[in-house]
Amino acid sequence: MVSRTGSRVTLATVAKLAGVAESTASRVLNGYTRNFRVRPEVRQRVLDAARDLNYKPNPMVRSISAKKTNLIAVVGWASDGVNRTAISAAVAVCKHAGKHVCTTFLQPDNSGHELPSWRVDGALALQVRQEQDLEELESNGMPYASINGLSGPNGDSVTFHEANGMEQAIAHLAELGHTKIGYLYLEQSRVNPRGLPHGSVSARRDGYLESMDRRGFVPMPGWDRFEVPFDTYIREFVVGEGATALVVYDDVMALYAIQAAARFGIRVPEDLSIVAFNDELPARMATPPLTTVALPAETAGAKAAELLLERLRAEEGEHLPTRNVVLDPKLVVRQSTGAPRSG
């Protein structure tokens, strides 16, 4: 590592500037906390010295000395904005902890969540849709954290409380006066790797049925029709059944629904209110901007990274129980919802 002045910066240089032993500087910079204590002011001196000297540990040297690679693999497929936002937050947390993140960019239809051909210390798994996908991670005893998907005995998971999000959506529409509320999920605009819908598909659909039943509302026909075109759905289940509101699986699907509704002269929200899920960029740029159930993707990614780092810091032979963190979404009200039309 070269300092801002052009001279070579080593760990010994940092230790000398901080007035501590090289071993102390190493432990502070590498985040050691087990069987190691140092006064807060000493720790801060080391951190300040490293910052002033523009010092960054060499990952190759660290991996040789610690018999670790300091590499974390991303396995799986980031299909949409939620997963991309989550993995970006996870990478930031990992890099702050001195870890480097790599990926093999697997195709969506690739079976399983295979590790890369090079050695890594742990993995961040995206959208694990069935337990079989974890076979390689579990058989290798690889520490991992699963984002927006399933996990097994050797890993942790961070997911979203889909039923809670659906309840917020239905409650909002009911407060506006809607009772004829439909649910729309159409697979024509989705990519399902290996034909396996994400777990959120059934979770949101079940949440819709439960929330409607809780209020004594009758589910609108079309909630279980996923194979029809958007125009067909609007013609048969909105115009034909007199629906005044729709909860749509995600933001992108909601845009398709708004376009299809416009072809039938249906205005949003004057004639039809729409609530979507995810709250990614399309929701805020839509016309009208979408009322949507925002998933805390950034929080999910950061939490998954923290759980993985805890596993990586665990002493050899120490077994951490599987942790399943479920985060609550939050309804964001914009201009795509209003009171039901009269008449």
* CATH for the 68-160+297-328 domain, from 2.102.10.10, 3.40.50.300, 1.10.1040.10, 3.40.50.2300: 3.40.50.2300
Map residue 197 onto helix, strand or coil.
coil
What HEC string does 256-285 produce? HHHHHHHHCCCCCCCCCEEEEEECCHHHHH
Q: Which of 287, 297, 225 is nearest to 80 (CA)?
A: 297
Report phi then psi at 171, rounded to 5: -60, -40
Q: Are 48 and 77 in contact (CB under 8 A)?
A: no
Q: Calculate the alpha carbon distances from 51 to 14, 16, 59, 60 in Å.
A: 9, 14, 17, 20
Say what the pTM is: 0.78
**DSSP string for residues in 69-116:** --EEEEEE---SHHHHHHHHHHHHHHHHTT-EEEE----TT-SS-PPP
| Banded model confidence at residue 261, pLDDT cuts 50, 70, 90 | very high
Q: Is the pLDDT of residue 196 over 90?
A: no
What's the pLDDT at 341? 83
Instruction: Report which of residues 98 and 236 the model is more confident about.
Output: 236
Q: Is the pLDDT of residue 285 over 80?
A: yes
| Banded model confidence at residue 331, pLDDT cuts 50, 70, 90 | very high
Side-chain half-sphere of 52: how many Cα atoms within 13 Å?
Answer: 12
DSSP state of 335: S
What's the pLDDT at 69? 81
| Banded model confidence at residue 141, pLDDT cuts 50, 70, 90 | confident
Instruction: Report which of residues 215 and 141 the model is more confident about.
Output: 215
Superfamily of domain 162-295: Response regulator (3.40.50.2300)
| Banded model confidence at residue 309, pLDDT cuts 50, 70, 90 | very high
| Banded model confidence at residue 89, pLDDT cuts 50, 70, 90 | very high
Fold of 11-57: 434 Repressor (Amino-terminal Domain) (1.10.260)
H or E stretch including 228? none
User: Torsion-angle region of residue 271: left (phi > 0), alpha (psi -120 to 50) or beta?
Assistant: alpha
Q: Calculate the alpha carbon distances from 198 to 87, 292, 294, 310, 332 in Å.
A: 17, 19, 17, 27, 23
Q: Is the pLDDT of residue 273 over 50?
A: yes
pLDDT digits over 146-172, tens only? 999 999 988 999 999 999 999 999 999
Kindly provide the residue ranges of all beta strands, DSSP E only, lying in the chain, ordered along the sequence: 71-76, 100-103, 122-126, 144-147, 155-160, 181-184, 245-248, 273-278, 291-294, 324-327, 330-332
Distance CA(179)–CA(340), nearest Å, equals 9
Domain boundary assignment for the chain = 11-57, 68-160+297-328, 162-295
Strand order across the 330-332 sheet: 181-184, 245-248, 273-278, 291-294, 330-332
What's the pLDDT at 135? 85
Instruction: Report which of residues 324 and 26 the model is more confident about.
Output: 324
Report phi then psi at 17, rounded to 5: -65, -35
Q: Is the pLDDT of residue 5 over 70?
A: no
What's the angle, vertex CA 245, arms to CA 244 and CA 250, rounded to 5? 155
11-57 against 68-160+297-328: fold identical: no
pLDDT digits over 90-119, tens only? 999 999 998 999 887 666 556 567 778 788
Pair of tokens at residue 150 = 């399933």
What's the pLDDT at 316? 62
Q: Is the pLDDT of residue 24 over 90?
A: no
Q: Are 277 and 284 in contact (CB under 8 A)?
A: no
Residue 285 exposed, middle or buried by CB count within 10 Å (0-12, 13-18, 19+): exposed
Contacts of 255 (CB under 8 A, 6+ apart): 282, 286
Instruction: Report which of residues 215 and 70 the model is more confident about.
Output: 215
Question: Which percentage of the chain shows pLDDT scores above 70?
Answer: 86
